[in-house]
Amino acid sequence: MLTVRVLTTAEAVEIDVRPARLGSRAIALGFDILMQLVVLGFLSGTYLIITDLLPEPYGDLLRPDTAYLIGLALVAVGYPTIVETVSNGRSFGKIVMGLRVIREDGGPIRARHAFTRALIGLAVEWPGMLLPMVTWAGSLTTMLASRRGRRLGDLAAGTLVVHERRPVPWNLVPGMPAGLAPWAAEADLSAVDDELAEAIRQFAARSFHFAEPYRSILGQSLHAEVTAKVSPAPPPGTPPWLFLVAVLAERRRRAGVQLAATRAVTQRVLPGFGVIPAGTRR
């Protein structure tokens, strides 16, 4: 189900966001773990090369256990902190899943936000240095219970993860209503410009999303504006919504006829102009 929340920015501007839930965030985390393993492998290889190249007395200065702790800190805390700060909240996994970390007020995160999220993730959530099973259960419960899907790191840093790519429903614009085609073919629509036609199209495609009384108010406003610019008037008793749809459908039909005529003239004057050869089509 598409869940959209409204955030109010520091500039008092309301924006719609779709919080990321456990599923998409878990997949993004999987991709990030793969990247962290790659970074850890690179650091391990670098460590082995350096210890090989150092003279014998200095080769044991950096003990393996110390190197492991440094590498763990760089990968578990440094990787998400640096990557999310530089990319404005988008790690590799979040880019793949179309997610982004933002502040609670909708602004971009800073280094302190990314660092807090990463530190809480390492110490409490994952890998869970303190009572692993308890902290994992607590982290999952917190995320599932939060209306915005926020984990402990998000609560501590004042952030949340949202979807950048939102599904947009495809809205079908109705065609010519039955019985109005003869009237529309004779009507003068020259005063209905492209801007007004786009307003009609948006209303016809999305009117069922509007709640009353706003739908009726907008429909009446458009009907009055279009009626003043179209002559003759539609047949008596024509519902306002069907009148608007008929005007839109007739404009679309006339544009198609005009385009076909223009193409025909172009082909007579410049044969083959704008036609892709059959052998080059893919």
- What b/e sequence results for 189-202 when a residue is b if at least 16 CB atoms lie within 10 Å of its CB, and e otherwise? beebeeebbebbbe
In this prediction, residue 29 carries a pLDDT of: 87
Dist CA 245 CA 231 (whole Å): 16
pTM: 0.54
CB atoms within 10 A of CB 245: 22
102's CB contacts (< 8 A; 6+ apart) are 17, 89, 108, 109, 159, 160, 161, 162
Taking 70 as the threshold, does the pLDDT of residue 280 lie above it? no
Q: What is the pLDDT of residues 181-216, one digit of tens each?
A: 999 999 999 999 988 888 888 888 777 777 778 788
φ, ψ dihedrals at 90, nearest 5°: -125, 100
Residues found in the chain: 282
Q: Could you write out the DSSP letters of every residue in 259-279?
A: HHHHHHHHHHHSTTTTPPPGG
Dist CA 99 CA 258 (whole Å): 44
Q: What is the pLDDT of residues 101-155, one digit of tens each?
A: 988 877 788 999 999 998 888 877 765 555 666 777 777 788 888 888 888 888 8
